Structure 1
Amino acid sequence: MEQFKKLFIINCTILLLVLKVHAQVKYDYTWALGISDLTNPASLIRFNDTGIVSIDSSSSRMRLDGDGSIICDAEGKLKLVFKNCFALNESLDTLIGSYKLRNKSGTISYCNRGGGQYPFDQSTIIIPSSLDSNKYHLIFVDGGFLTEEQDSLKALDYGRLFVQSVDFSLDSRGEVLGERVELLKDSITPGMITACYKNSSSNWWIMARLDGTPCYSLLSLDRDSFSFVRRMCFGSDLTGRNDISGSSEFSPNRKYYAHYLTGNGIYVFNFNDVTGELSNYRKIDKYGIDNYYGRICFSPDSKLLYLFSSGHIIQFDLLSADINQSGIIIDSFKFDPMNENFASYFSGKIGPDGRIYVGGLGAHKYLSVINRPNCRGADCDFRKQSIELPSRNFWGLPDSPHFNSNVRSAECPASQVTDKYKWSDIDFRFLYSEEKILLNIFNSEMQSGVLNIFDVHGMSVINKSFKYGPNFYPLDNLPAGVYFVNLYFNDISGCLGRFIKY
């Protein structure tokens, strides 16, 4: 933990936030979340390409906290909320025939108790029809317990994958059509299903992890027709009951797929969005933290992966040769029993504005935000409890696939030091020659100090004292990477800047 704290101390460069605006599909431009009862109406968050436009409240007879999906129309107006046990329209009223979604065959009977809440994460997906703009596919998991007749299953809780259709053409309130159709004969995890576009087309890939095993089932949705494609297995982890908590996600650029199980770690794969094949299997371990709940989220540029788990936010570099060692703790939640409006970090979701919004587990009235999620370490500009909701949310953020692969995010601060920096009476510059790279620190004060250079993991690579006058430090032996220069001088610790060693 200490090495990560050091990283935050030194990363003190202040630069301007630059946003680029561009047009994109608006299927996820309004989010609905909240407990939604007489004292806590639902929160509706509306976005444009640069930020939050408005946060309003809206009453509904149904609870919106917990697991669920959302989708908007072409203009970004809320169209449909799907909570596994029921579906709501833009007025947060149940669709015609919504009762059909309560007819679950699993032995849990979750729709008939506990406020009609499905107890597992990421059990629903809404995908728009590619043939009719008035129709949507509701993909969902029906969960159950292991019984004596199912002794071959490796996990005590299992799921089955189904689809049911919604049509808005006959009635503007929307109608759930027909009966559900089972998509897979295999039993899968009780949740953690996800989807992505196929190779920039209007067709889709759908991924589900099989029950208790290190295997994945891939389905295809082409022109509103579902089909099973293949089963893929990696490693030997038998997850048992650990497969009931976590999340899965395709990266925005569709080049990665990651699956997080709280008791096992994160499984990361390269993904071919043309063939649907997984490859280059890697595992991020539990990271020395007791993970009982949490979700993962890619950065908008698909180069970083964030873990929100058991009160911690950890950032991993997917381009690192060793992803396990690339982890940086962005923040750790500190519980305050006197403040019921804050809750431990639980999930993150990319907004249409390129920021990552962070929700909690348990009643909370504030969302946190990562303003520059493509940037490493403290440069990501995490702001805790910075967005106030009109009423309390309880559990998580609404789910939706990445409808836009080119969401623009704020640019990262400049990384390479090219000019002279001044800090108090310290002059700081680089000297280059064909054979050497030297860091020159000129101290015009009589008092000595200490130079510390850290890498991006917060590890000290150079720790030297400096005295009055010029001080030269060779950098030739440092491996390629980003480094931060920190000085301890006159009883003050300060960051002078950073540089890239190529």
Structure 2
Amino acid sequence: MQDYKIIILLLFISLSTFGQTDKKMDYTWTLGYESGLIDSAFGGSNLNFEKRINQIRSFRKFEIIYQSSTHCDEKGKLMYHSNGCAIYDENNNIIENGDSISYGRLWSPCPLYSPENQNSYFLKVMDNDSLIVYLKGIYDTMSNGQIFYRKGLQENIIDHINKRVIVKDRMFLYDTLAGEGFSALPSLIKNEYWLITPQQNNNRIWVLYYTISGIKSAVEYSIGVAQERYFSGLGQGCFSMDGKKYALYNPSIGMQIFDFNRATGELSNAKYLALKNYDRAFGGCCFSPNSKYLYINTPFEVLQIDAENPTMESIDTVGKFDNFFDSYPTTYFHMSHAPDCRIYISCPSGCRFFHVILYPNRKGKACQLVNRGLKLLTRNAFVTPLYPHYRIDEAYPCDSSIILDVNWTTDLKDIQLNYPVHVYPNPTQDFINFDLGDHAFKGLVLFYDLLGNEKKRVRLTVPMHQFEINLSNLEHGIYYYSLWDEKQDRTAFGKIQVLR
């Protein structure tokens, strides 16, 4: 009898961690900058989830900025990846005919201006991976110098045996699409997918049924709240892990949650939460592995929502930005579920951390958000990788036995002020005043936007207790300020709002 109990226990352990021998197509994440810089914090790195999270340096002659799409075989070995500009093999070489993907007048210089954050997917379309699909959004219009409009979706088909793109940039949807929300989900039929992509400046959403043979159906739903044109591309859309819901977060609009039918592709029962953010802000969303909770991040907060009953009353703040700078502010940018049942949150600009929600299936603060819970081998610019939910029909969609060495440490000098500073008026229009009381400051004053881009710098060459800075050249929005003394120590920092 005792032997039977042992066998049953071992079977339970195997099932509870799903001990997968296949469907590990999302087990390697590619991150980082071009290699060869003197600073070792730059360069490429791969994050692998096999049993324990391992980070490996990867020499590259290209940068991965804004997005990273990868495809592994069913054992988790990297096969292909892309930064939205070209398709690379596991050794970071451009495959034959895989250069200049979706080339157009907005393509160069890539990747700084071509990819958006939720813009491409690799899809497994054959059991033996003899053919692999790479889908990507394209652009052909620019407005206000910096705001892009995605104008369609293109298909690229890879002949894996010969490592060659045999179908390149074939358009299968041409429309003015929103910069956020493009998502892929396996259908009820193996190697076939539902694709969702919202349109721009209206409330219409495309639902496409994709197969290697082409689009079997394309339905245009008028549902929910319109996606505003202003500063598109900084939100995020996602399917729940059980495939029954689709969420769309646009910081300028708010949060929308829809019911989704995997059998028919129907979107229904739209629910809206007025979680608007600052102008030109960013944010992400991700469901818990059990699909019970939906997480949303603004630049400064991480929120948990009851996905079954999404009301303003159900919102729980589970984490906040703690003013830590890693050269740039380590605020929250976008989210991604991972094979280890955790949720990872990227930072804007080139920070060296992922924030981590350790137990996303738990309610409230018990989910345990750890700011900078994973220290990366190299700096990462905005990226959270994109994948379909390949294990959607498995009893356990992720493996909680994968070990993460949590980064619990924070350098206190990076989050505490050396001395207090009074900044006024805040909000302001043209001028901002700094009052340091008994302390005199000499050094550099820097201003960053929410993406961590430096927008203004002023150098004080003599010690001053009070000083005024002209901000008339800054646009409407939220900015960080940071004071660096002559020893290159950051002595003060904070946040201001400029009104126009």
Q: Same fold (TM over 0.5)?
A: yes
Structure 2: unaligned runs, 5 residues or longer: 1-13, 402-500
Q: How does 1:313-328 map to 2 (within 5 A)?
A: 313-320=302-309, 322-328=310-316
Q: Which has the larger radius of gyration?
A: 1
Who is 1:347 aligned against? Answer: 334
Alpha-carbon separation, structure 2, partners of 1:235 and 1:221: 24
Whole-Å separation in 1 of the counterparts to 2:386 and 2:131: 19
Residue among 344, 352, 362 paired with 2:349: 362
2:428 — aligned with what? none
Question: Which aligned pairs between 1:234-383 and structure 2 lie closer than 5 A?
Answer: 234-235=223-224, 237=226, 239-286=228-275, 292-320=281-309, 322-337=310-325, 339-340=326-327, 343-383=330-370
Cα deviation for residue 102 of structure 1 reads: 4.9
Q: Retained in 2: the 8 A contact 1:121–1:192? A: no
Quick one: distance in 2 between partners of 1:308 and 1:60? 31
- Cα 1:242/1:288, change in 2 over 3 Å: closer
Structure 2 letter corresponding to 1:34: G
**Identity level (%):** 22
CA distance in 2: counterparts of 1:58 and 1:189, whole angstroms: 33
Q: In 2 relative to 1, CA 223–177 (structure 1 residues): closer, same or farther, beyond 3 Å?
A: closer
Cα shift at 1:373? 0.5
1:43 pairs with one of 29, 42, 45: 45
Contact 2:252 / 2:278 at 8 angstroms: preserved in 1? no
**Take 1:306 and 1:41, find their aligned partners in 2: how far apart are those partners?**
31
State how far apart, in whole Å, the 1-side matches of 2:388 and 2:68 are: 12
Looking at structure 1, the residues matched to 100 and 348 of structure 2 have their Cα atoms a distance apart, in angstroms, of 29
The more displaced of 35-44 and 260-269 is 35-44
Q: Is the contact between residue 68 and residue 383 of structure 2 (CA under 8 Å) also seen in structure 1?
A: no
Contact preservation (8 Å) 2:125, 2:192: no
**SS at 2:290 equivalent:** coil
- 1:219 paired residue among 200, 208, 213: 208
Q: Is the 8 A contact 2:124 2:191 kept in 1?
A: no
Asked if structure 1 preserves the Cα contact closer than 8 Å seen for 2:102 and 2:136, the reply is no
Give the TM-score taking structure 1 as reference length. Answer: 0.70
Using the TM superposition, name which of 55-64 and 392-401 deviates more. 392-401
Q: Scaled by the length of structure 2, what TM-score is found?
A: 0.70
Higher relative contact order (CA 8 A, sep 6+): 1
Pick closer, same or farther for the CA change 1:116–1:385 going to 2, 3 Å: closer
Amino acid at match of 1:57: R
SS in 1 for 2:322: coil
Q: Which amino acid aligns with 1:159?
A: K
1:79, CA displacement in angstroms? 1.2
> What does 1:48-447 align with in structure 2 at a 5 Å threshold?
48=50, 51-52=52-53, 54-104=54-104, 107=105, 109=106, 111-113=107-109, 115=111, 117-130=113-126, 132-145=128-141, 157-170=149-162, 174-199=163-188, 201-235=190-224, 237=226, 239-286=228-275, 292-320=281-309, 322-337=310-325, 339-340=326-327, 343-405=330-392, 406-408=396-398
1:368 and 1:336 map into 2 onto residues whose CA distance is 12
RMSD of aligned alpha carbons: 2.5
Give the deviation of 1:395 after TM superposition.
1.3
**AA at the equivalent of 2:388:** P
The alpha-carbon deviation at position 144 of structure 1 amounts to 2.7
SS at match of 2:35: coil
Change in Cα spacing, 1:179 to 1:394, as seen in structure 2 (3 Å) is: closer
Q: Which runs of 5+ in 1 are unaligned?
A: 1-17, 148-154, 412-502
* Matching residue's letter, 2:302: I
Q: Distance in 1 between matches of 2:373 and 2:227?
A: 40
Task: Give the drift of 1:350.
Answer: 1.5
- Could you report, residue by residue, the CA deviation over 1:50-77 in whole angstroms, capped at 9, with x for unpaired residues? 542x111111001012123111111101
Residue 60 of structure 2 aligns with an amino acid whose one-letter code is S
Residues of 1 paired with 2:16 and 2:216: CA distance?
39
Provide the residue aligned with 1:20 in structure 2.
16
CA distance in 1, matches of 2:73, 2:226: 41
* SS at 1:378 equivalent: helix
Per-residue deviation, 1:290: 6.1
How far apart, in 2, do the equivalents of 1:324 and 1:113 lie? 42
Segment of structure 1 superposing worse, 248-257 or 159-168? 159-168
**The residue matched to 2:347 in structure 1 has which SS?**
strand
